[in-house]
Structure formats: C-alpha cells, structure tokens
Amino acid sequence: MTAATAAHRAIDAVWKIESARLIAALARIVRDVGLAEELAQDALVIALERWPESGVPDNPGAWLMATAKHRAIDLLRRGKLLSRKHEEIGHEVEAQQELAVADIEAAIDDDVGDDLLRLVFTSCHPVLSPEARVALTLRLLGGLTTDEIARAFLVPEPTVAQRIVRAKRTLAEAGVPFEVPRGPELASRLSSVLEVIYLIFNEGYSATTGDDWLRPDLCEDALRLGRILAELAPQEPEVHGLVALMEIQASRTRARVGPSGEPVLLLDQNRAMWDHVLIGRGLAALDRAEKLDGAGGRYALQAAIAACHARARTAEQTDWALIAALYAALAQLTPSPVVELNRAVALGMAFGPEVGLELVDALTSEPSLRHYHLLPSVRADLLAKLGRFDEARVELERAASLTRNARERELLLARAATMAGKKQLS
C-alpha cells in the first residue's frame, strides 16, 4: 500500500468519525447547516491535498476543526457573512466583522456540548418532509453517503441527493434556528428525532456497505443522543424505550465480530462477551418506559424483544414464543414487511420451520423486499432446517448477490458452500 493510499484511507476513517461533530460545531456558529457542511467539506479537501504529503496529524479531528474554523473566518472577512452579522448585531461593518471573527475564534474551540443534539433537531424540523428529515440527519449526523441512505429506504440515489439539497435550502430560507426546541414543541418533534437516531444506530450496528460489519462510532453517537434525549424528556416513555433497545443491542458488539472481522450471528455468539453493564442500563431504561405506561410503544416493544435475548443465558433458553407474540404486537402497531419477516423467524424457532416458512413465502411477493437480502437469507435458514439444502444454497447465493456489505457477502457465500456440502453428503 502506498503512503498516499494509506493517507486517503485514514482520511475516510477520520471523516466518518469526526464529520458530524465538525458540522455541528460550525452550524452553531454560522447558523446554516448547508454552509456548515460546505466549510467542513472544504477542510476535508485540504486534508486530501496535504495529508498524503505531510502525513496524518496526531489529532486529525482537531486539525479538521482548526482548518474549518479558518475557512469560516476567511469567508467572513470576504464579506459573505457580513450582511447576516450586520442584521443580527446592527453594528458598523468594521465592528461587526471583528466581533464575528472573535465569535468564531472563541466558540468554535468550545467543547462540542449539545451541538449534535441541536443538529438532530434542526435536521428534523417540521418545515421539512419526513423523508428529508431522515435523509439530512443521516447525511449530517451519520456521515452516510447518499447511496447508503438510498439503500436504507429502497429509493433511487438521485432522489435522496435532491432531498438533501432541498432540505438544506429550505432550512436556510425558513431561517430555522439552530437550537433544541422547548416546551410543547419538544414533544411534537420527538417522534421523528427518535426515528432518525435509531436509523443512525442501525447503520453503525449493521453497516449497509463497505468492508466492516460494524461502525461502532455511529452506535456511540446514537447512544449519546438517546441518553441526552432521555434527560431532556424524562416523562416520555418512548425515549426510554429507544435507549433501552440501543443499549441492549450495543451490548453484543464484541461478540458480533470474529477474530478476522467476520460477522457472528446472534445464535452463534459467545454470550460471555456481551457487555452486561450495557444490558443492565438497557433493562433499567425498559423498566422506566414500562413504569410510564409505555410498554406498548414501538421502541419499547423492540426493546422487550432484545431483552428476551439478553436474559437468556444460552441460545436454547430464549423464549421464542414470547418474542413471536411481541413481534405480533409490533406488527399491529406499525405494520411492516420487515417486522413480519422477523416474526417469521421467531415463529420458526418457537413452532417449527414449516410455520416460519409459510409466512416467509407469503412475503416473497412484497415489492419493498424484492432487493432485501435478509428475505432469501431467512428463507434459506428455514429451508436448511427442513433438509432442503439445495434450495437453501440458491437462496443464500441470492442473498449474497443483494448485500452491499463485503463481510456479510463472505458469510453468506460460506454458508451457501456449506449447504452444497450437506447436499453431497445426503
């Protein structure tokens, strides 16, 4: 590997980790998420130009922040922020310019604080469509590409790109404040924020593309935002339900990856490697949600399912019948083909593969699952349990062709090869 290639890989990794914090800190100063992202991207371009020659700095995040800060000051001094600062402060041009520069110098170096939370609420503002809120927040908070967002929502990539551009323009034109809402407005905007945070967590928990099965930093960012939300809205049961779900799922992180970075599926995981501190936090959050009469909420139900796995000392002790019942309740609350697919897995484990396969076969004609790799993967598992190894192999190969994650593709192809071996032995 050349030094330039190594530098570019390092830059990509740093950007994934630091971009959200960088954009959030800049947005607090310039009060425009679109402009903040442009300034952050400018810093990234400079890194791409310099780091292959100079090497990656010891603290690359701080380097990007300092570079973006200077870009913001340069922009201000060229007068592009002058009129806005003049309107806000009402001082003479010279006075306002120096004040704005001092503002940026001081504030950009402050601790990030709740900037990420402000960025979430801004990205989820009601002035935007629900689709735009999700796309923009995943872009700004999660550092995801438009392709990754498009795959998450089964829509064309140009559609997502247009949503993001329009969303930033709409926020700027509407003059949306970069702040955490208070009072009644906070409650009315929680639902979309919770959805976005969980989508960010999921991208970290099971990366849709790339060479890594996990992106732990995204999970950590989502957990941090969820915990802050729980403090801001302590009487909202669904906030606690989401935190419970993320804590319990995050507890499996170490066990979900093998020695070579390969995925390890839930039933094959070494449960001794699960983080029992996170499990304890998750169960406590679920208890808070239930005490607030929120046991039937969308996230609380999913947390209850995760808790069934967390409480089982071995895979064989899992209460699959209860899990199937919880998925049935979730399907009633939020009907979804993906929920039905998960219910099929639970039914197959609780009552036999024939029962699960019947439901899965009914989902094969569902348009939204046509390119969803987990549908043929689940079907393959059920077929294998019925001894239909050749059919299972075909399904696993199809699943491998649909996934965009390299690690997952390797796992699916290895399982397909195993099915071929079982066919020969039979």
Model's pTM, two decimal places? 0.71
Question: What is the per-residue pLDDT across 73-117, written as a single tens digit (0 to 9) for each?
Answer: 877 676 655 555 555 554 444 444 444 445 545 544 444 447 877
Considering the chain, what is the average pLDDT of its residues?
Answer: 85
The sign of the dihedral angle between the CA atoms of 251, 333, 373, 207 is negative
- Write out the two tokens for 306: 């995760």
Coil, helix or strand at residue 413: helix
φ/ψ of 404, rounded to 5, equals: -105, 0
Q: DSSP assignment of 36-90, as one string?
A: HHHHHHHHHHHHHHHHHHH---SSHHHHHHHHHHHHHHHHHHTTTTHHHHHHHH-
Most confident of the ranges 82-96, 198-212, 366-380: 366-380
d(CA 305, CA 32): 40
d(CA 30, CA 332): 44
pLDDT score at 112: 46
Q: Alpha carbon of 336 to those of 191, 329, 354: distances in Å?
A: 18, 12, 22
pLDDT digits (tens, 9 = 90+) for 122-181: 998 989 988 898 889 888 887 778 887 887 665 789 999 999 999 999 999 999 989 888
Closest CA to 85 of 100, 65, 102, 74: 100
Answer yes or no: is pLDDT of 408 > 60. yes
How many CB atoms are located within 10 Å of the residue 150 CB?
Answer: 20
